[in-house]
Chains A and B, each alone.
Chain A
Amino acid sequence: MSGAHDQRGEDGRPANPTRRRLLGAAGSLTVMFALGPAWPQQGGQSSQSAGQGGASESGVDGAAAGGDKSGKLPGSLDKEPWLDAWIRIDADNTITVFTGKAELGQGIKTALLQVAAEELQVMPGRLTLVTADTARTPDEGYTAGSHSMQDSGTALRYAAAQVRSVLLGLAAQRFTVDPASLKLDQGVIHTADGRRATYGELLVGHDLHLRADGKSAPRDPASHTIAGKNLARIDIPAKVSGGVAYVQDLRLPRMVHARVVRPPTPGAQLQGVDTAAVEKLPGVLKVVVDGRFLAVIADGEYRAIKASTALARAARWTTPATLPAAAARMGDAAALVRSLPSQDSTIYDGPGANAAVSKTLRAAYSRPFQLHGSIGPSCAVAQLVDGRYTIWTHSQGVYPLRDALAELLGAGKDAIHCIHTEGSGCYGHNAADDVAADAALLARAYPGRPVRVQWMREDEHAWEPFGSPMVTSVQASLDAGGRIVDWQYHVWSPPHNTRPGKAGNLLAATHLAKPFTPPPAKPAPQPEGAGDRNGIPYYILQGPVKSGHIVSHFQPDAPLRTSALRSLGAYGNVFSIESFMDELAHASSQDPVAFRLAHLHDPRALEVVRSAAQRFGWDGWRRPSGPGLQRGRGFAFARYKNLAAYCAMAVEVELARETGLVRIVRASVAVDCGEIVNPDGVRNQIEGGVIQSASWTLLEKVRFDDKQILSRDWAGYPILRFNQVPRTLDVHLIDRPGQPFLGTGEASQGPTAAAIANAVFDACGLRLRDLPLDRARMRDGH
C-alpha cells in the first residue's frame, strides 16, 4: 500500500529539505505525504472571493451522507484527497491531525479535534492538531465565510472514518478475524479473544497514502461520545495564565523589532526624510526608506517605537485632499457610495406580479465604513535565511498570502513558508496580511534575524481594510391580504474582498518606490455573493414571493480600501431586508413575527422563528406602562447566505431620546446550524456575533474628511462597553444530528442589526435606516 507518488530520501523522509527540517528530527518512522499537486491547482481563484476554500457542501436538501451524486468528495477532501495529508499515525502511536484552517478564536481547533477524535475513537487530548502551514497542511484557502466546519470538519470526518476502516481492515487481516468483531479503544484495536495491536503497529509496512473515497460511513451521531459534546477549549487555559498563545507572544532567538511609519494620509506624498539622526538613536539597527514605505528596525521593542516616532517627525509629506470632497466633508459614507460608478448584475429576476397590489412601500438604507478593530493590532514575524523566508502570521489564508508574498519579493513560492500563528480576533480581512508583508520586506532588508513587526493602534484604525459601506433601496408591494406580491431590491457597495492573492493587495506593496497596483476587484457570484450576500430574501428562495427584481451594483473602485468583514454584505442586506419587513408589517397592521411566518416555507426556518419568538415571550409581551424609559421589542430572521445557518432573534431595548443612549435589555436567539460538534463553541460564536453586531449597529462608523481618516483610536471610534451589553442573552441551539455542518460564525451579524432597529421603532416610533444608530442620530432623530 505504499504510495508511489511521494518523493523520499533514503531515510524514508521527505526529499524536500525544508520540509525535512520542519518535520523535525524525530527518530520514528513517519508516514510521508505528498505536497505535490495531486489535486487541481487552486491558484488565484480563491483570492477574489471570501468564503472560498472549498465547495460549500451544505445543500438545502440536507444531504447527510458523503460522496454526493456529483462525484465530489466531502468537504476539502475534494481538493486534497490523500488521507495522509490529513492524518498521520506514527509507529509510536502518536496521532497528528492536519487542517488547512486556522484558529481565529472561534474554537475551530477544538471542534476539529472532536470530529477526528470521534471517528478515530480516541480522546481528543491524544491528538495533536497542526493548523494552516504552507509546508505541512492541506491548502484549504481562507479560514473564512464560516466554512471551517463545512470544509475541514467534513473532510476530517470522512478521512478519519476511512482511516478507521483501513485500520480495522489491517487488524482483521493480521488477526484473521471478522472486522465487525474488533473493538477500538484509545488507539488500540482489540480482538474478542484479547489480542491487540496499536494503530501505529498496524501501520508498520503500510501507510496512509491512499486516496479518500468518501465511502466509509462516519459514526452514527446517536453513538457520539465526543463530537456533539461540550469539550473545554484546549487553548483557554494558556490564555488565562499568560502562556504563549499569540503571534504577539513569539520570541525567537536574536529577534529584532521593527515599526513602520505610514504616510499621514492615504494620498500623502513624501517630500523628503532625514534619516541620519534616526539612525543614531539607541538600538537602531537599520532605517528603511523605499518610496512611501518607511520603517525602522531596532534591538528592542520600545526603542523601535521611539525611533519610529523620530522617523515620523523627520519625514516631510504633502497631504493633498484625495477623498471625494462633498461626501468626505460630512464623513458621509452613503453619499460617497452613491457617487461611485458601478457594474450592475441582476441576481434575481422573477415573473411579473399578477396579484392585485394594495400597497407599495419604498425605503433606502445605508451602512458606513466600519472597522474590524482587532483588539490586538496585527503582528507578524519574518525571517530570511539562505534565500528562504519563514513568516509567522495570523493571516486567514496562509497559502494565498504566500503567493502574494512570492510576487512581492520576487521569490519562488517554495522559498516562502507561512505558518499560521494565532492573533487576536480578526473578523475578516484585517491587517494581518499587510503586516506579514511589512515583516517580509524588512526581513529582506535585514536578513538573518527574525524581524517582528507590530502595528500600532493608530495604524490599525487608519489602514486596515475597512468593512465596506453599502447603500440599499427596497420597494415591495402587498396585496389586500397583506402578503408580499412583489419585491424590488438594489444594493450598491464597493468590494467586500480584496484579499491577497496578489502583491497589490498588500498595503506596503502599494507604497514602494516601484509600487504594485491592486488588482481589480471582482464581485463574487451568488449564492455566496459578497456585497450582495443575502441580497435575495429567503422569503423568495424558500417562500411564496416570486415576483421581483434584485440588482447588485458592484463598485470596483473606492477611495478607501475595503474588504471582508464578518458576514460581508449580509450585515447590510439583512439589516435592510429585515427592517423593511417590519415596515411592511407595520403598514399592514400585522405582527412582525406572524408576517415572517406567513412568508416562509422551509420548516427549519419556521422553527427558528417560532423558537426565538416563544423563548422571548413575544406573544404575551406588553409594553411596560408607568414611569420608565421607552421600551420596545424587535424581531429579525435570516439564513446566512441563504444556505448556511439559520438565525432568528427577538430583542428588547430601552432608550432615552434625550441622551440618545440605547440599551439592549435582553435578547433571545434561536439557531439551527445542522449537526453541532461543540455546542458551547456555537453558543459562544453566536453570543459574540450578537454583541459585536450590536456594537456596529449602535456605535460604529469610520470618520474621515477629504484628506484622511479621523477615527484613529478607541476614543475616536468607540465600541460597546460593558454598560451597554444586555442583561440576558439567551441562545437556543437546535441540534440536527446527521445533517451537514452549516457555517455559523457570521449568522447573527445581520439579524441583530435589524432586530435592534425594529425595537427602536417599536419603542419610540423612530425608524432609522442609516447605520449606526448612534447617540447623535438617536437624539437628532435622523
Chain B
Amino acid sequence: MDHEPRPPHDHRRHGAHRLRWVVLAALTLLALAGCAIMWRPALAPQPPQQARAAAQAFDAATVERGRQLAALGSCAACHTVDPARPYAGGLALATPFGTVYSTNITPDARTGIGAWSEQAFARALREGVSRDGHLLYPAFPYDYYTHMQAEDVHALYAYLMTRPALDAPAHRNSLKFPFGFRPLVAFWNVLYLKKNDAWAPDVRQSAEWNRGAYLATAVAHCGACHTPRTKLGGTDFKRYLDGGEAEGWYVPALNQLSPSPLPWTTEQLASYLRTGIATDHAAAGGPMQSVVENLRFADPRDVAALATWTHSYLEKAPHDAPRARTADDLPAPGANEADALVREGHAVYQNACARCHALGRTESSGAALPLQKAVALYDPDPRSLIHIVRDGIEPPDGEPARWMPAFGAILTDRQTAALAAYLRRYGAGKQPWDHIEDSVRKAKQP
C-alpha cells in the first residue's frame, strides 16, 4: 500500500464511480434494447380516397380467396359479435391476463382499418403491431399468422378492405396489472414470435397433408387452442396438440393423447369440421362451434386437407373404449355403487337427458349423441362437459342446425356435478374427475 496522501478521488471511490457508470451504461443499454424491442414505428395512414381506389383495384378472385382464408382462420369468430355487423369487433375474450376486446377490422377510416396500407396490415398479421405502432395482445394469434404466405396475406387484405365499413370504436380492455402496459408484449414476442419463419412443407408427406399443415399452422391456428400454454401464455410447442383450453372449455388433444373413445376417419373429420357433426360420433360445442360455423364457408378441399393433416396426428391415439362402439342405453349404477353423487347423477341423467340421448327419442327430430361416444366424457378435465350441459348448443340466428337446450338454470350445481360424475363413471368408464363440485362452481364464473 502507498503511504502518499491519496488524491481526492481514491481508487475505491473511483472504482465504485466507474462501476456506477458501467451499471448505468448497462442499464441504459438494456433500456435502449428494451425500447428497441418494444417500440415500433407508426406507419403512415392511408388517405380515404387512396383506400377506396385500392379497394376497387382488387380482382374478384383475390377477394374470394381472401374470403375463404378468413373462413379458415375463423376471423369472424372473434371479430363478429352481431351478425348484422360483420367484423365490427367487440367480443370480450377472457384470458389469464385479463379481458381483451376484439377490434373493428372493417375498412372504416376512423374506428377500423380503413387507413391501413397493406404493409401495415401485413405487419399486424405477422408481427402483432398495429398501424400506429402499438403492440397487439397475442390473444390475436399473430404468432401463427406470421407463417402465412405473402399472397395469402394480400388476399386477406383485399377481402377485408372490400367489406362494408362500420363505425365501431374499440372497447377498452381490462387487463390485470402490469399487462395493461402494452410494450411488455415485446418481451413475449422475443420468446414466442418466430417471425419471418416461413412455413415449409414436409417432403415426406402428401400434397394434401402439406396443404392441411400449412393451413393449420398459419391460418386455422389449431395449435393455439389444442396445445397447452406456458405460464407466460405462449404455445408450448414441446407438447404440440396435447390439448389446451379456450374460453373456459377444455380443448382435447389431437394427437396420441386424444381422449376420443372412437377412431376417426378422415371423412368423419372433414364432415365434423364442415358441419359440426360427425353422425354417431361427435358434435361441436362451445368455441369449436364458432370454428365450424366459419369453416362451413371455406373451400371444402381446404377443409378436407385440414382433416387429412389432423388425422395424421389423431390416428396415433389408442381409441380404446369398446362401450363407445355401441349405442346401448347407459347402465344404472350397480347395487355396490357407494358414491352417492354418482347415484344422484344417474337419476339426473335418466330424468333430464335420456329422453334425447338414449334411444328413446324418435330419430326424426335430430338424433342426440349416445353419450358413451361423447369426447367430453373422456377428457382429463370436466370443463367441456360442464359447459355443454350448462350452455347447450344453439344454431346461428335464423339458420337451421342442431340444437341442444341449455341446462344451466335448470340443474343445481350439485345436480350438474352428480351428472358429470355419473357420466364419467358409467358413460366413459374412467376414473372420477377430482373436485368435480369445485369445477362446476368455477365454471359459472365468466
**Touching chains A and B, CB distance < 8 Å:** yes
By a beta-carbon cutoff of 8 Å, the part of chain A in contact with chain B is 264, 309, 312-313, 457-458, 462, 626-630, 654-656, 658-659, 661, 663, 698-699, 703, 708, 711-718, 720-721, 723-724, 774-776, 779
Q: Is B83 engaged at the interface, CB distance under 8 Å to the other chain?
A: yes
Please state if B86 and A712 are interface contacts (CB–CB under 8 Å).
Answer: no
A721 to B359, CA, bound (A): 31
Residues of A within 8 A of B365 (CB): 457-458, 712-713, 716
Contact call A656/B83, Cβ cutoff below 8 A: yes
Which residues in window 341-393 of B have CB below 8 A to A? 359-366
Contact A309 B167 (CB under 8 A): no
Please choose the segment from B93-101, B120-128, B266-274, B395-403 that sits at the chain A interface, where 4 or more of its residues have CB less than 8 A away: B395-403
Flag if B359 contacts A313 (CB, 8 Å). Answer: yes
B85 near A656: Cβ-Cβ < 8 Å: yes
B366 touching A715, Cβ below 8 Å: yes
Q: Are the C-beta atoms of B364 and A656 separated by less than 8 Å?
A: no
Residue of A nearest to B401 (CB): A715
CA of A458 to CA of B167 in the docked complex: distance in angstroms? 43
Question: Min CB distance, A384 to chain B, in Å?
Answer: 29
Instruction: Check A708 against B85 for contact (C-beta < 8 Å).
Output: no
On whether the beta carbons of A774 and B398 are closer than 8 Å, the reply is: yes
A654 CA / B85 CA spacing, docked (Å)? 10
Contact A629 B85 (CB under 8 A): yes
Q: What residues make up the interface of B, taking CB atoms closer than 8 Å to A?
A: 76, 80, 83-87, 106, 108, 110-112, 163-167, 297, 359-366, 395-403
Residues in A neighbouring B167, C-beta threshold 8 A: 626-628
* B84 adjacent to A656 (CB under 8 Å): yes
Pick the contact of B361: A309, A715, A717, A775 (CB < 8 A): A309
Measured CB to CB, the nearest residue on chain B to A719 is: B398
Q: Which of B84, B111, B361, B362 contacts A659 (CB 8 A)?
A: B84
The answer to whether A661 and B364 have CB atoms under 8 Å apart is no
Using Cβ atoms and an 8 Å threshold, which residues of chain B touch A721?
397-398
| Chain B residues, CB < 8 A from A628 | 164-167
Q: Complex Cα distance A698/B397, Å? A: 12
Give chain A residues whose Cβ lies under 8 Å from the Cβ of B85. 629, 656
Q: How far is the CB of B339 from chain A (nearest CB, A)?
A: 28
B364 close to A627 (CB less than 8 A): no
Nearest chain-A residue to B110 (Cβ)? A627
Q: Which 3 pairs between the two chains have the least Cβ-Cβ distance? A: A715-B403, A712-B365, A658-B86
Interface contact A711-B400, CB-CB below 8 Å:
yes
- Closest B-chain residue to A708, C-beta based? B364
> Which chain A positions have C-beta within 8 A of B106?
627
Q: How many whole Å from B314's CB to the nearest CB in chain A?
A: 29
A660 CA / B120 CA spacing, docked (Å): 29
A457 (CB) vs chain B CBs: closest residue: B365
Tell me whether A264 and B364 are in contact (CB under 8 A). Answer: yes
Which of these, A627, A698, A711, A713, contacts B108 with CB under 8 Å?
Answer: A627
Contacts of B80 in A (CB 8 A): 658-659
Residues of chain B within 8 A (CB-CB) of A630 are 164
Decide: B364 and A462 in contact? CB cutoff 8 A: yes
Known contacts A627-B167, A629-B164, A712-B365: A718-B399 contact under CB 8 Å: yes
Q: Taking the nearest CB of chain A, how far is it from the CB of B190, in angstroms? A: 37
- Complexed CA–CA distance, A264 and B167 (Å): 50
For the complex, give the distance between the alpha carbons of A721 and B395 in Å: 13
CB contacts (< 8 Å) of A458 on chain B: these are 362, 364-365
Q: Which of A627, A659, A720 contacts B83 (CB 8 A)?
A: A659
Distance between Cα atoms of A628 and B86 in the complex (Å): 11
B362 close to A309 (CB less than 8 A): yes
Enumerate chain B residues within 8 angstroms of A714, measured Cβ to Cβ. Answer: 403
Are B397 and A661 closer than 8 Å at their CB atoms? Answer: yes
B165 proximity list for chain A (CB < 8 A): 627-628
Q: Complex formed: what's the CA distance from A663 to B365 in Å?
A: 29
**A659-B86, A661-B84, A663-B84 given; A718·B364 CB < 8 A:** no
Per the bound structure, the CA–CA distance linking A627 and B163 in Å amounts to: 11
Q: Which of A312, A659, A716 contacts B366 (CB 8 A)?
A: A716
**Residues in chain B near residue A309, CB distance under 8 A:** 360-362
Tell me, in angstroms, the Cα distance from A703 to B399 when the chains sit together.
12
**4 other A-B residue contacts (CB within 8 Å) besides A659-B80, A699-B398, A776-B399:** A627-B164, A627-B165, A712-B364, A775-B396
Smallest beta-carbon distance A367→chain B, Å: 18
A417 vs B106: C-alpha distance when bound (angstroms): 65
For B106, the closest partner residue in chain A by CB is: A627
Contact of B84 among A629, A713, A776 (CB under 8 A): A629
Once the chains are docked, how many angstroms separate the CA of A613 from the CA of B399? 33
A656 vs B401: C-alpha distance when bound (angstroms): 21
Cα-based distance from A774 to B400 in the complex (angstroms): 10
Report the Cα distance A16→B58, complex, angstroms: 84
Determine the residue in chain A with the shortest Cβ distance to B363.
A264
Given A627-B108, A656-B86, verify A264-B362 contact (CB < 8 Å).
yes
